[in-house]
Amino acid sequence: MNRRSALKNAALGLGALSISNAVSATDRATAGTAYQTNHSTCLWCFQGVPIEELADRGKDIGLKSIELTTVDQWPILKERGLTCAMGTHKDFSIDTGWNDPKNHEMLQEQYTKVIRDAADHGIPSVIVMSGNRRGMSDYDGMRNCAVGLRPMVKLAEDAGVTLQMELLNSKVNHPDYMCDRTQWGAGLGEMIGSDRFKLLYDIYHMQIMEGDVIATIRKYQDYIGHYHTGGVPGRHEINDSQELNYPAIVRAIHETGFQGYIAQEFVPTYDDKIKALEEGMRICEV
């Protein structure tokens, strides 16, 4: 079964593609007005900066969340009035994911604990990964992900936590990663059929894989629960040194009615990494 027929069988031509491509007249009328951006950033980008320093200085510039952090780090954030918009766990793996049934028992054990920890600490979302293809068809991988994730999504529904699968590029950074197209992720969302399963739309990764960022965000807005930024090429600052127009992208995100977090996930090149973070945050205020 080839990619096209697999996706057809996954009903991508039905529910996933039935979302309106158009922004409403009301949303268009508000274009250019001020929106409230909920700022987050990812801990791994700030190598050499202690989490306490990142939290203290980040809060001073309007940061609300430091994400891809674990349960042992969440109290540090809470003490400083911050949260973790997207939680993870110490055994987290990009390559070993839900698309392989051999991983389901292990992952379900891990995520049962992670979801409960997130609920206990008031963490709204937890990241999940598809895993690599390893010769598997897109449809088989989608079906396997749905089978493995459904019990976890039910647990997440009961706990008030959202599971979010990240879209990554398989062209540059993560060769063979399966969830590398928004359409595929939306098809998985259709299969699972719960508001407690969403996509983490990484703008950097999806610019590399498919481009057409603003149109894609509008088309698949109902499936997207979180955003990551990053400059293309290079995954550095999101200023005019790279090709993406982030003010326009963030405005388009707000026009969909999105009220979640937009997280800076670029690797700073400035000597003062927090200054780079502040610059990125200001760019995302429109």
pLDDT tens digits along 124-147: 999 999 999 999 999 999 999 999
Percent above pLDDT 70 for the chain: 88
Q: The tokens 């079906």 sit on which residue?
A: 143
pLDDT tens digits along 140-189: 999 999 999 999 999 999 999 999 999 999 999 999 999 999 999 999 99
Residues 121, 203, 164, 223, CA torsion sign = positive
For the chain, list the domains and their CATH numbers.
3-11+31-283 (3.20.20.150)
pLDDT tens digits along 94-107: 999 999 999 999 99
What is d(CA 193, CA 231) in angstroms, rounded to the nearest whole number?
A: 32
What is d(CA 281, CA 238) in angstroms, rounded to the nearest whole number?
A: 9
Nearest residue to 146 via CA among 99, 113, 198 = 99
Can you state the percent helix, strand and coil of the chain, rounding each to 5? 45, 15, 45
Cα-based distances in Å from 7 to 2, 42, 192 = 9, 32, 15
* Per-residue pLDDT, 280: 98
